[in-house]
Chains A and B, each alone.
Chain A
């Protein structure tokens, strides 16, 4: 480690809003991890006319940015970006290298790991520093039924792709500064063995329920169609969306649109409040990626109650009404 201080690197993936967000989330987590192992948070930005992103990453916590800005890097290319990244990593030897688990990242990272002969954990939903200073990577396995904790004890860098939405970005700070390192285009840059014939931006799919940070989900235990409407008010106050189980949709308490389950919508809210849902596998398969779960059910032994962080043993509708009342009191704005 010629340069003294250790570093944690984040690959700057900026192609669209969603990718940019995951990069910001990774910079944030890298900043936390950096405190534990006394390291500098570095970001790489490859492309053409990318100053905008250099600025954005600076304001969101990057302390050092390696920028390679050239017309030849205008389009995302695995062959070319891999060559650049491999060179930089070999030169600077970061301890940790994080890549967003976007479609690009999930093709780029394994190939980079292969070239660097190091370990890579896919689609992580947790990153921590263990007692021995190693990066402990938590990743789902078997359709999310199980989680595994993985480390790369010897090889460096310790690499992970990370699922978007796992971490929260650091708020924008206009006064932040970062050291900018301009990297010249290498002389030995290879040609791209894959030709991009065309690339058309797809219209953003509207996925309000799938992308919601808060989801209020209701089952038959809500009691009636009229009582079920109560959930919409709760969701409105929380700035969230309403999901429903199949029996509820069959009873026409909610639209098909709201259906959450194995063959239906898969949701990944950071907070899920589940009302009167027993927790049949057809439903729970659709909520595996939910974060903090609050379940309300009269039956304390319901599967949904066992899956919850907070299990509330009570009538679903009454708790919903009480929540609405209390939230109105507490949210003043």
Chain B
């Protein structure tokens, strides 16, 4: 089994590079993305029931190795850090291509790939399904529960108000929600041991046989034009005075903004 994971920033107020619109990841404290942790937990439970071997993979800067140590302490057998400065600025298309290539290069005999259903930072939920396409295997997104019988995987999920039960043959890919798989607790000692073990493999673009056109910004079809605070662009009109005057002015200036939503004409009665 392969579990793909991502290190996400722990804080929600983040430093951005105003020029490139990219996040200055080095300035933020990182943690394992919660849904990725649930995916690892799901893999560990399958391993407990059916045996198997778990490889945890992440793509990111060298500091992303932290979450791989954490994965080892939770019970992963082997880890791979895919890291290359040329991979920075990748969108989901480029990221999924790199991860799929890493899987093909280092663990091509996999049965099941598990990913978190989405990350807490960018929330695109796109990398998992795109990896499934890249690997040419069946995939099911946002599953709450997994059950393996032989080489057939049965999953449950809630999709647009439908409770669905689906099945597919392995090899396949699933993205896992946090609904059912609460990650196990790691004792401090286990975490320390994991940092002592040198069992993290590192690979760069060269090891994956990828060239620059497939990587980072160059390999990404999308471009970020700008990043701005979600309160920017608000007019922030300040009204003061007596309540009656304020309310009158409010309707005079914003009757359409309010009226269009409640579908009433709020123009003053002449």
Contacts and interface: CB of A to CB of B under 8 A. Distances in A.
Interface stretch (B61-69, B77-85, B190-198, B254-262): B254-262
Contacts of B141: 103, 106-107
A174 interface: no
A312 B160 contact: no
Interface string A138-157: 00111111111111111100
Interface in A106-124: 106-107, 109-111, 113-115, 117-123
A263 interface: no
* Interface SS majority for chain A: mixed
Contacts of B140: 194
Contacts of A240: 262
Interface in B219-256: 220-232, 234-244, 246-248, 250-251, 254
Contacts of B165: 196-199
A194 B269 contact: no
Given A195-B166, A331-B264, A147 B230 contact: yes
A239 B262 contact: yes
Contacts of B16: 146
B30 to A, nearest CB: 14
A122 B129 CA distance: 13
A299 interface: no
Given A15-B160, A143-B120, A326-B248, A308 B236 contact: yes
B230 A193 contact: no
A310 B254 contact: yes
A319 B249 CA distance: 12
A120 B140 CA distance: 19
Contact of B258 (A18, A120, A194, A271): A271
B266 A331 contact: yes
23 contacts: A103-B158, A107-B142, A115-B133, A140-B123, A145-B230, A146-B227, A155-B221, A195-B167, A197-B154, A197-B166, A197-B167, A200-B164, A294-B250, A294-B254, A300-B240, A309-B235, A310-B239, A310-B254, A314-B242, A314-B243, A319-B247, A325-B247, A326-B248
